[in-house]
Amino acid sequence: METETLLKVEDLRVEYPGTGWRSAPFRAVDGVSFEIRRGETVGLVGESGSGKSTIGRAVLGLLEPAGGRIEFGGHDVTHRDRATQRQVSRRLQAIFQDPYSSLNPARTVGRTMVEPLEVQGGAARAGAVEKVASLLADVGLPEDSTDRYPPSFSGGQRQRIAIARSLSISPQLIICDEAVSALDLVTRAQVLNLLGDLQRERGFAYLFIAHDLPIVTYVSQRTVVLYRGRIMEQGPARAVHESPLHPYTQMLLAAVPVPDPAVQRVRRARRRATAVSTGTAAQPPAEGCPFAPRCPKVMSRCWTQRPEAVPVGEQVVECHLFGPSNRPAWVPSPVVRP
């Protein structure tokens, strides 16, 4: 029986092998847990190196987890053999930042898109050409797109091709990994609206990975904020954006430029306060909060004790400011808005 939860990630850990002077494995994702319900969009947000793309690749089966569990459609898919991976990839698709690298420039778009349908065989193969033409029309591409080669399309059009290709096998979940980051503002808005329209029509879910908190808020129902492979805060997208609890989430928001120079000045000052330190102080503690070297509210125990996930209203935050002993004294920082 199908469950309401489509993807369940529990205590996920992913490591990369050590290289050169760093022979110990590097833990890129450390104990991450979240869920995506059917038809929902969950945003993963964080700076470069926060582990968000690594999580996406682990869910896609491109990386082997070092620990934890990934459940998709009610089945444990943490460690997949080839047959399981084939089954999962029929319901799980991805759109990456650079669609050009996944399009063969010497093949027409039609040929590239028909291939996965032919591999499926059966009914998918029989109507493959018509289906591809219809999908390209659905994402707003011109009629002659099937006969054209990738270099003849703009960046935005190539991202539309990637979207059409991800839809060709009727997925239940699409992982969008920085899918609009390389697009100009106008094209980005068009592609985001297209992603929203397609989701409303077809009912699939998105895991939307980006470094830009306002964009993640715009497209997501829930947001998960990551720093150095760990979750700092998660909750309803609007709540996380309007009342960020974790100092790191507040820093991400302060980094977003605003048109008002006075507000921008305050934000810049905040950003300076959380700028990356240099030297040994920039190294996060082995035990404790990874954000400690950058946190303007750091306390002595932040260096030695890992904060636990604490529910605060609808949000869940991992920060000692919200531990039981601090809760009565805690006063939220004012958030400067345009």
Residues at the site binding ligand SF4, with contacts judged by CB under 6 A: 246-247, 289, 291-292, 295, 297-299, 302, 307, 319-321
8 Å CB contact between 264 and 257:
yes
The sheet that has 5-16: what strands, in order across it? 26-37, 5-16, 67-72, 75-76
Give min distance, CB of 327 to ligand SF4, in A.
Answer: 13
Give min distance, CB of 187 to ligand SF4, in A.
Answer: 36
Question: Assign residue 26 a region: left if phi > 0, alpha if psi is -120 to 50, beta otherwise?
Answer: beta
Give min distance, CB of 318 to ligand SF4, in A.
Answer: 7
Would you say 95 or 295 has its CB closer to ligand SF4? 295
Would you say 120 or 305 has its CB closer to ligand SF4? 305
Cα torsion 57, 88, 96, 209: sign: negative
Distance from C-alpha of 116 to C-alpha of 124, rounded to nearest angstrom: 9
Would you say 116 or 323 has its CB closer to ligand SF4? 323
Would you say 83 or 276 has its CB closer to ligand SF4? 276
Would you say 216 or 289 has its CB closer to ligand SF4? 289
Give min distance, CB of 281 to ligand SF4, in A.
Answer: 12
Give min distance, CB of 299 to ligand SF4, in A.
Answer: 6
Distance linking the first and last C-alpha atoms of the chain: 47
Distance from C-alpha of 230 to C-alpha of 19, rounded to nearest angstrom: 22
Give min distance, CB of 334 to ligand SF4, in A.
Answer: 17
Distance from C-alpha of 163 to C-alpha of 176, rounded to nearest angstrom: 9
Tokens of 334: 């004012």
CA-derived radius of gyration, the chain: 21
Tokens of 60: 């896609």
Distance from C-alpha of 244 to C-alpha of 191, rounded to nearest angstrom: 27
Would you say 112 or 249 has its CB closer to ligand SF4? 249
Write the DSSP assignment of 126-141 as a string of letters.
HTHHHHHHHHHHHTT-
Would you say 128 or 245 has its CB closer to ligand SF4? 245
Give min distance, CB of 206 to ligand SF4, in A.
Answer: 28
